[in-house]
Amino acid sequence: MFAIYKRELKAYFISPIGYLFVGNFLAVSGLLFSICTLQQQESSSVSNYFRYLIYAFAILLPLLTMKSLSEERKTKSEQLLMTSPVSISGMIMGKYFASLTVFTAVLLCNSLNFLLLEKFGDPNGRLIISNLICLFFIGALFLAVGMFFSSLTEDPLVSAIGSMDAIFVMLAVNFLSDITIPWLKKIVDFISVLSRYEPFTYGILDITSIIYYVSIAAVFIFFTVRVYERRRWA
């Protein structure tokens, strides 16, 4: 599993995809950051930035996972992985953690932007940290969704668009939270990625939210493994 993790990590940066992801992530998040804070000057809102960034994740993160499994399936190089002494879950976890590592590194790199807030204002560092922690877990969830879609198809493009759609749906559920039917609203709040994010914007690390993100990510990873198992036993 560690060998696969290492290779995946390296593969991101000997092929264009890793650079495209990092570059685009920095550009998009930088732009959102500028729009929400620097350009707003006095009415700067770093929480708006985080909120928009979550939406940007829907497009950015599938770039990281779209090739993970589909490409190997297309070129048949997965045969090497599946015939080597590594379990399928080990293989998928290795790839998942590689994408998670790149994502985390970029998220941290990108956080250098917050130094600008320090320069021109007096940001609440702890709030930023709690937001970042939550964004990490949301990203981890979206990457798991991306992995799942990557396992379904041989075409990276199909995988990317599929996972974008799935993530959009997960985010759009939040718009239903305005409904007045109490039990439905309760369910929507329970499953909505964004409503779970709410406490973090106040600097509160909500363990139940983290459990939620991690468990949903685990379910997607589990399904990914199932896809492979089923394909083997088909």
Partner 1 sequence: MIEFKNVYKDYGQNHALKGISFKVEKGEILGFLGPNGAGKSTALNILTGYLSATAGEAFVDGISIFENPIAAKKLIGFLPEMPPLYPEMKVEEYLNFVYDLKGCTLSRKQHINDVCGVVKLSHVKNRLIKNLSKGYKQRVGIAQALIGNPKVLVFDEPTVGLDPKQIIEIRNLVKELGKEHTIILSTHILPEVQQVCSRVVVINEGLIVADESIETLTEALEGTRRHVAKICGPEQDVIKLLRSLPALKGADIIGRQDANSVSYLIESDEKIDARVPLFNALAAKGYALIGLEGVDMSLEDVFVRLVSNKEKKTEGRRR
Partner 2 sequence: MNNINNDKQRNAVTKKLKYGSLSMGFAVLVVVLCIAVNLAASLLSAQWSLRVDITDDKARFYTISDGTKKLFEEYFSETPDWHITIRFLAKEEKVSDNMVLELARSYQSTFDGHIDLEFMDINTNIDKWEQYCELTQIELTSYHVLVEGKYHTRAISFANFYYTDSESGETVAFAGEKAYTAAMIKSGIKENPVAVFTAGHGESLDNGKYPLASYVGLSSEQLSQANKLSLFDTLNDMGFEVQVLDLNESELPESTRLVFISDPQRDFMDYDPDKPDVVSELEMLKNAMDNYNVTLMVSVDDETPELENLSRYLSLDYGLIYHSNVSVTDNDNSLKGSGGKELLGAVAAKNSGSLGAQIVKGFGVDERFVFNNAVKLSLSTDMSVQGEDMIVSTYSTAEAEGKKDVYPLVAYTLQANAIEDDKGTDTENKEYKTAYLFGSTEFLSSEYLNSRFSNRALLESILRKANTVQEYVAINEVYFIDEGLDITTGEARGWTVAVTLVAPAAVFAVALVVWARRRHA
CA distance linking residue 176 with residue 190, whole number of Å = 12
Among 2, 168, 175, 202, binds partner 2 (CB under 8 A): 202
Among 2, 19, 190, 202, binds partner 1 (CB under 8 A): 2
Among 45, 75, 124, 215, binds partner 1 (CB under 8 A): 75
| Interacting residues of 5 by C-beta distance below 8 A, sequence separation 6+ | 93, 94, 95, 97, 98, 101
From residue 6 to residue 45, the character string flagging contacts with partner 1 as x (rule: CB under 8 A) and all else as - is xx--xx--xx------------------------------
CA distance linking residue 147 with residue 159, whole number of Å = 9
CA distance linking residue 96 with residue 64, whole number of Å = 10
CA distance linking residue 108 with residue 44, whole number of Å = 21
Angle at 153 between CA 1 and CA 94, to 5 degrees: 10
Interface positions, 174-233, toward partner 1 (CB under 8 A): 232-233
Q: From the list partner 1, partner 2, none, which binds 221 (C-beta under 5 to 8 Å, kind-based)? A: none
Q: Which is nearer to partner 2, 165 or 229 (CB)?
A: 229
- Structure-token match 């708006």, residue found: 48
Interface positions, 76-105, toward partner 1 (CB under 8 A): 76-87
Q: Which is nearer to partner 2, 70 or 209 (CB)?
A: 209
130 lies in the site for partner 2, by CB under 8 A? yes
67: nearest Cα among 186, 154, 168, 189:
154
Smallest separation (angstroms) from partner 2 to the CB of 30 = 4
DSSP labels, 12-63: HHHSHHHHHHHHHHHHHHHHHHIIIIITTGGG--HHHHHHHHHHHHHHHHHH
- Token digits for 111? 């956080």
Contacts to partner 1 by CB under 8 A: 2-4, 6-7, 10-11, 14-15, 75-87, 232-234
Give contact residues for partner 2 (rule: CB under 8 A): 13-14, 16, 19-20, 22-24, 26-27, 30-31, 33-34, 37-47, 109, 113, 116-117, 120-124, 126-127, 129-130, 190, 199, 202-208, 211-212, 215-216, 218-219, 222-223, 226, 229-230, 233
